[in-house]
Amino acid sequence: MDSEQRFLLAFDAGGTTIRAIIYKENGDELARAFRTTSEIRSEQGAVEHDPEELFQALLAAGREALSKAAIPPEKIAGAGITVQRATFCLWDKKSGKPQCNFISWSDVRAGDKAFKMNRSCIWSGMKIAAAVGGFITRSPMLTATGMLSFVTDHVLVRLCWLFEQRPELRQAAKRGDLLFGTIETWFLYRLTGNRVHATDTSNAAATSLYNPFEMKWNAIFCKLFSIPMRMLPEVKNSADQFGLTDPSCFGASIPITALIGDQMAALFGHGCFTPGDVKISQGSGSFVDINVGRQGKVSRRGLFPLIAWTLRGKPVYMLEGSVATAGRLIDWLGNGIGLSDTPAVLNDYASQCDDTEGVIFVPTAAGIRFPYFNPKARGTIFGLSLSTHRRHVARAVLEGIAHRVVDILEGIEKDTGMSIRRIKVDGGVSRSNVLLQAIADLSGHEVERPDETDMTARGTAALAGLGAGVWKSEEELGSMRMSYDHFHPHFDHNQRREKRRRWNEALKTLVKLYH
């Protein structure tokens, strides 16, 4: 092994799994390890995580990866951390002891609180004023504020709810005794021996406490909802000098040089550096993210600007839409109703026919998001006949997921005036050739799939390399690039239009049914 070769360590923390992957400078994977973690569902709607369990899982995965790689920690040029966004906890500033569990982004106990916040007279007045100001000035920030409705996805809502449930925490925060952090902030704090309390712009912007246009914590929101700003972390570039790990963690200090949200990391890992570049991550749900460039854009039907990453003080913005169920829906089709044993079997069934024979499956088992945002909607199937076979239903399921993805793509283009340049995909569900061909056919765009499925980790490693000085700019990241399989559109204009027309008629019927 080249004694001068440097390596990069990426930590990827999902909902129940934490991975540690070590990459060579040329982008080849050297070693990996993972640990599973548990969810705490103590009551209806609760989804929590034990902060100490998460940190110990991170340490164990990192140590095992280093052991498998058979390299000393001094060879790691930089480490990066990517996490599921908007999951937070509070800890004591002096002792570092957590004062609550992590409250997951998917925890919905604050639903009533969100309703009350949206009905607040002060907030309603602010929204009206912002909407009028946005219409007159065309300011994206005012337009976004005028559109904003609070939901339990927002950290702000769950934090306000937590303070109501436990008033002693609000008092401690006002005294300056507490620190707030999402998962990457907690990991950074613990890895650095309780010395560094920081995050990056991508994770901060996903909290609803941060103003992505002015690049600072939202003082107006914090004042309106009594959130003590002194507990919030410092916000830095996504690739930056975040500090050194304490030697007790891995045997020697490792520079932490990147923090990034999970979907943003995947966008970066695909090399989506140009406005109009799209990536679709197909896991339990489908996340559609588009690079919109150096200025934040607003979709007037409910997609809000996020910061994809910030390098050298310059942010890149993105818009994100999601399909709530993809992999989870496929799992249910197998385990719940016995349509198929595995996603691979579903794909095999779907590949046995070239058409659904009129069957339309709307994959909204957990509600529908953009552009209707109706949580009451349920999955619906149309067009069954006595000649319908499960292969037709299987294809209809995959085409339904593709249609919902294309709904988001078309909506982004219509709402922003942007044109999609290219579409890249990742995640376990993207292994389905039938699904990717359907996305290509229905969107009219070529779809590209890499051999690598861990694009969040790869993007994090690339950012860590930038933060460590392994590379100086995005243009130098050629060694981290991969080969892609390509799916070209087969439909002509009339075929695409007819398929989309029938889909939209089915969607309108469903929305009316669950209005």
Q: Which of 97-106, 169-178, 350-359, 477-486 has the lowest mean pLDDT?
A: 477-486
pLDDT, residue 1, reads 45
Q: How far is 418 from 65, CA to CA, in rounded Å?
A: 42
The string of pLDDT tens digits covering residues 188-202 is 999 999 999 999 999
Q: Three-class SS of residue 26? A: coil
pLDDT band at 179 (very low <50, low <70, confident <90, very high): very high
What is the model's pTM? 0.91
Q: How far is 506 from 95, CA to CA, in rounded Å?
A: 56
pLDDT band at 459 (very low <50, low <70, confident <90, very high): very high
Q: Which residues contact 460 (CB under 8 A, 6 or more apart)?
A: 10, 11, 12, 80, 81, 82, 258, 260, 265, 269
Whether the pLDDT of residue 376 is over 80: the answer is no
Question: For 68-107, b where at least 16 C-beta lie within 10 A, e where not — what string?
Answer: ebebebebbbbbbbbbbbbbbbbbebeeeebbbbbbbbeb
Question: At what angle are helices 493-513 and 433-443 packed, to 10 degrees?
Answer: 100
Rounded to an integer, the average pLDDT of 415-432 is 88
pLDDT band at 458 (very low <50, low <70, confident <90, very high): very high
